Amino acid sequence: MKMNQSSGPELDKRAAKVLRLLKRQQPMSTQTADEVRNQLARAGNPFGAPEAHLAYRQDHTVTAADGAALLLREYSPVENGSVSPAILFFHGGGFVIGSVAEYDSICSQLAARSGARVFSLEYRLAPQVKYPVPHEDSRAAYRWLLGARDQLALTGIGVCGDSAGGNLAASLCLYARNNALEQPALQMLWYPMTHGSVETESRRRFAQDYYITEADMRWFSAQLFEESKQSEDIYFAPGLGADLSGLAPAYVMTAGFDVLHDEGQLYAKKLEASGVATESHCRADMFHGFISFAGALAQGMDEIYRTADFIRARTGK
């Protein structure tokens, strides 16, 4: 496992400025889910990545296990009918906030740089649904892509996710192995949630002031779970699984100033110990979620490009 540590233990100065602006928003943990979503919609994201040029963008509909219709948005760098790899992408937001639209520019950049079609899923959010519905939605989307692979001229299908989306991507790989489902070709995990509610040093050290706080983490869990013990389910906390062998080659990125830093690092090490080809690195000067602010933070764009290069190197693009 290649370990690349970004230089410098201090928070990047530009990142600190972005954080100061983000802290002007009312804390999530003091609001309802709908209030937070409305607040974010009003504020927008002036620091988002720029849109990339694509051959086309297209919306598909996936039928969930309970019959619900789910949006799956395709971002294609190649013309319709051309053969390409595919990436199933899951946005972040603690299973409570976030959307396909909010990650449009990130997905377009990932597609343009990697040469892979990116399919971003509008999985359902808590508290309107509870665990394991978001994870079941991710599996439905993966099965849909497997079934449509020939029609869409797709080669290997990898998975990628941001924070809660990283949890969905990691969980899907473990679920596929345990349930005789084809293993994804690759897994790319951006500051993933992997150990449920296990307390780590980074959860204590960065409990406040770094965008996602420990209070936010508890708030997310309160929305998602009917019972707290569900956070120990290995499909929510794959890092608690006894055996991670046989999973897809992995790219794991963590941020230095992040409540989830330690568990992401632990998950990468456990993947490697289980024989999974794993590339891991830490953006030591960044905070959780920095890719969403790639328009202001060069490290965010660089991380999208690093992930795309990982995809290219392993798909022959």
Return the DSSP state at 214.
H
Q: For residues 142 and 157, what is the distance between their CA atoms, to the nearest angstrom? A: 8
Q: For residues 78 and 140, what is the distance between their CA atoms, to the nearest angstrom? A: 25
197 catalytic residue (yes or no):
no
- Kindly provide the residue ranges of all beta strands, DSSP E only, lying in the chain, ordered along the sequence: 2-5, 56-63, 69-76, 84-90, 117-121, 154-162, 187-190, 250-257, 278-287
137 catalytic residue (yes or no):
no
Please enumerate in sequence order all residues whose Cβ is within 8 A of that of 10, keeping only pairs 6 or more positions apart, or say none: 285
Given the residues 91, 261, 281, 288, select the one marked as catalytic.
Answer: 288
192: preceding bond cis by omega (within 30 degrees): no
Hey, what long-range contacts does 59-62 have (CB within 8 A, 24 or more apart)? 60/119, 60/144, 62/121, 62/137, 62/140, 62/141, 62/144
163 catalytic residue (yes or no):
yes
Burial 77-109 (b: 16+ CB within 10 A, else e): bbeeeeebbbbbbbbbbbbbbbbbebbbbbbbb
What the block records as the tokens of 51 is 């849109």
Beta bridge partners of 87: 118, 158
Given the residues 114, 163, 221, 292, select the one marked as catalytic.
Answer: 163
Question: Which of these, 26, 16, 289, lies nearest to 161 by C-alpha position?
Answer: 289
Given the residues 258, 261, 280, 285, select the one marked as catalytic.
Answer: 258
Q: For residues 316 and 156, what is the distance between their CA atoms, to the nearest angstrom? A: 11
Active site residues: 163, 258, 288
